[in-house]
Amino acid sequence: MAGRELTSVRSPRVKAARRLAKRAFRRRERRFLAEGPQAVREALELPGGLAELFTTAEAEARHADLVRAAEAAGAPVLRVSGEIMTELAQTVTPQGLLAVCEFVDVPLATALGTSPRLVTVLAHVRDPGNAGTVLRTADASGSEAVVFTDASVDPYNGKCVRASAGSLFHLPVVVGPRFEELIADLRAAGLTVLAADGAGKLTLDDAIDDGLLARPTAWVFGNEAWGLPEEILGHVDDVVRVPIHGRAESLNLATAAAVCLYASARAQRA
């Protein structure tokens, strides 16, 4: 179990962890923060995924199994005061466990090398909560990879990590390719590239009825406020809109992604 409790924000280990709240430091160290027992449990499933664990005395007693597992995996376990945990955590009510994790992203060639049938692409998605929710939905629907283009939010942003609810650790995540280069690789992998956008002439119902969704597919989802730019819409294979049967103006990004991904999942499993 953890030894002496750290009570100073000037502790080198605490200072190093606090810096990971900033993207520049995350990229330099290739590490990020993940809060809560679920995130710790998921990180422990990946060999070498958990680099360090901070815990309060109360959380250490409540989640003794996770603390033992972290120690067995060779990760240092550091007990901190409640005040220090509040400084480290990015939530209003910290759960008392904070993991320093190694980056989990993989090269695009690795993600596409398994011949996936369903891939999720986030292009120009800026809100970390939405991005994390789409990542979680992609995992639930059976997507075999998620790609964050260079114009999208950092998947290791704390809010994105929390919104993914552990799914960040479940499936291959690719970070940073330019869309112009990405689309060529998606097609070379045998994927039909579909953009979800309210301006699409093809409805999701049409795509289902025509058998389009039964093909190996990469779905591209865009910005929450203004959708996808013309330079993307002009290069995909089809632009598909989710039909609005009621009076709502539109669907939010995460809901639209869920509808499209599950439609593909059902078509591919039919």
Is it the case that residue 1 has pLDDT exceeding 60?
no
Is it the case that residue 5 has pLDDT exceeding 80?
no
Q: Which domains does the chain have, with CATH numbers?
A: 12-102 (3.30.1330.30), 108-269 (3.40.1280.10)
Bridge partners of 80, per DSSP, are: 6
Q: Which of 114, 128, 125 is nearest to 147 (CA)?
A: 125
The pLDDT score that the predictor gives to residue 90 is 84
Burial of 154 (0-12, 13-18, 19+ CB in 10 A): middle
- Cβ burial 88-113 (10 Å sphere, 16+ → b, else e): bbeeeebbbbbbbbebbbeebeebbe
Split at pLDDT 50, 70, 90, the class of 120 is very high
Is it the case that residue 7 has pLDDT exceeding 80?
no
Q: What are the C-alpha distances in Å from 15 to residues 85, 88, 91?
A: 12, 9, 18
Distance (Å, rounded) from C-alpha 145 to C-alpha 79?
A: 36
State pLDDT tens for residues 59-98.
999 999 999 999 999 999 999 999 999 999 988 889 999 9
Mean pLDDT of 198-213: 94
Split at pLDDT 50, 70, 90, the class of 10 is confident
Is it the case that residue 135 has pLDDT exceeding 90?
yes
> What percent of the chain lies above the pLDDT cut of 70?
99
The pLDDT score that the predictor gives to residue 3 is 54
What is the phi-psi region of residue 123: left when phi exceeds 0, alpha when psi lies from -120 to 50, beta otherwise? Answer: beta
Alpha carbons within 13 angstroms on the beta-carbon side of residue 179 total 25
Is it the case that residue 155 has pLDDT exceeding 90?
yes
Average pLDDT, the chain: 94
Is it the case that residue 240 has pLDDT exceeding 70?
yes
Mean pLDDT of 248-253: 90
What's the alpha-carbon Rg for the chain, to the nearest Å?
20
Query: Considering only 55-69, 176-190, 216-230, 255-269, which range has the smallest mean pLDDT?
Result: 216-230
The pLDDT score that the predictor gives to residue 110 is 97
Split at pLDDT 50, 70, 90, the class of 133 is very high
- DSSP letter (8 states) at residue 219: E
Is it the case that residue 128 has pLDDT exceeding 90?
yes
Kindly give the residue spans of alpha helices, DSSP state H, lying in the chain. 12-19, 23-29, 37-45, 57-62, 64-72, 82-88, 108-112, 128-141, 158-163, 179-188, 204-209, 230-233, 253-269
The pLDDT score that the predictor gives to residue 199 is 87
Q: Which residue has the higher pLDDT, 173 or 251?
A: 173
Is it the case that residue 26 has pLDDT exceeding 70?
yes
Backbone angles phi, psi at 204, to 5 degrees: -60, -35
